[in-house]
Amino acid sequence: MKISLLRVLSIILGSIIFSANLSFAATLSKIGAGEGEVGIVAWAGYIERGDTDKNFDWVTDFEKETGCKVKVKTAATSDEMVALMNAGGFDLVTASGDASLRLIAGKQVQEINTGLINLWGKLDKRLQNAKWHTVKGRHYGVPYMWGSNVLMYNKDAFKGSPPTSWNVVFEKMNLPDGKSNKGRVQAFDGPIHIADGALYLKYHRPELKIQDPYELDEAQYKAVLDILRQQRKLVHRYWHNAFIQMDDFVNEGVVASGSWPFQVNILASQKHPIGSTIPVEGATGWADTTMMHVNAPNPNCAYKWLNHSINPKLQGDLGAWFGAVPSNLSACKGNKLLGDNGCAVNGLGNFDRISFWRTPVSNCGGGRTCVPYYRWVTDYIAVLGGR
């Protein structure tokens, strides 16, 4: 597997060392006339205008109502999001928990005036003060969507029965179709995948005493790197582009990988034999927050989008499209695309079982010293390179 210099640089740029001294940008006190556009760095599938499926469009009406043209830059990983926000020129980013605190500590995002967010009180109470976007009582974003990473699998390879363990992507074996998994599985192309390895070992090697997949001491960390090096020998591709991963499942013989419900939903809708499951070890996940750049060039359009982003119609449609759970729970009823059972199907009851992405730091509490994120970055690059 080749790793481009640009990809390596984007990852390194994304690894920011935390600072204890945070300064806070002045927040908008009133939403004025829109500037004509808003630039958003987003995950694939998060900002839809009906190009892929005409039923999923929450951009067109916003542009008509506000006059703010939506420009989207799709990012493949949290590290790429951090790098893009560091470079500037964007207004908003749909940041996951492994990026949000880095953006706050790096002084790249500004405090949000929640008084200007009309539906703030309707947001899930578990998300309003979440530690991945709230620092010293100040909110640095508006909760957008959350969900779990899933094990996507080809039903033909698994004889119609979902795999029960992540071992199908970590350990060499023959799958139920009688063929080896070598060269037929994938893993995520981002340092945060180390947490998936840690979660796997937490279950299978209790003697390591891993309590939190983002808080690893040196011995635990070494064990996780070892399992990832083992996985490296099996991996067909480290994926970061959702659409390329879907093509790999359809045309390249890939049959199992950690993935997002987004890919599963699209492939299933196209009648491919694709399913997903959360195995016995549990899963990592993401709780994404729309954050505003400290020097956003279009702050009024940005606030207009922040308000639009949590209206029940958009939230329900996005939940149906991505297979995730809305931050505005009123979207869970009455949305024809999501359906009244959609939130439950997408994992509403699993919130406390998900190990949500967050940035590892050296001071992990209780007098423990853990391996910080910059080490995850450099060591994961080494794993991908076969070292």
pLDDT for 350 = 87
pLDDT for 345 = 87
Place of tokens 């297979």: 323
> 48 and 62 share a domain?
yes
List the structure tokens of 128: 């309003």
Tell me which amino acid residue 213 is: P
pLDDT for 26 = 64
- Rounded to an integer, what distance in angstroms lies between the CA atom of residue 349 and that of residue 172? 33
Taking 50 as the pLDDT cut, the residues of the chain under it are: 1-24
Q: How many domains does the chain have?
A: 2
Q: Buried b / exposed e across 296-318, counting CB within 10 Å, b at 16+? A: bebbbbbbbbbbbbbbbebbbbb
pLDDT for 274 = 97
pLDDT for 16 = 41
> 10 and 68 share a domain?
yes
- Rounded to an integer, what distance in angstroms lies between the CA atom of residue 80 and that of residue 355? 21
> 154 and 139 share a domain?
no
What lies within 8 Å, CB to CB, of 83 at 6+ separation is 9, 10, 11, 13, 14
Q: Domain range holding 197?
A: 149-284+360-384
pLDDT for 17 = 40
Contact 230, 132 (CB under 8 A): no
> 180 and 128 share a domain?
no
pLDDT for 7 = 45
Q: Buried b / exposed e across 20-37, counting CB within 10 Å, b at 16+? A: eeeeebebbeebeebbee
- Rounded to an integer, what distance in angstroms lies between the CA atom of residue 267 and that of residue 56? 16
Arithmetic mean of pLDDT over the chain:
92
> 143 and 156 share a domain?
no
**pLDDT tens for residues 266-289?**
999 999 999 999 999 999 999 999
In sign, the C-alpha dihedral spanning 356, 234, 190, 269 is negative
Q: What is the CATH classification number for the domain harbouring 211?
A: 3.40.190.10
> 259 and 301 share a domain?
no
> 233 and 368 share a domain?
yes
pTM of the model: 0.84
> 16 and 134 share a domain?
yes
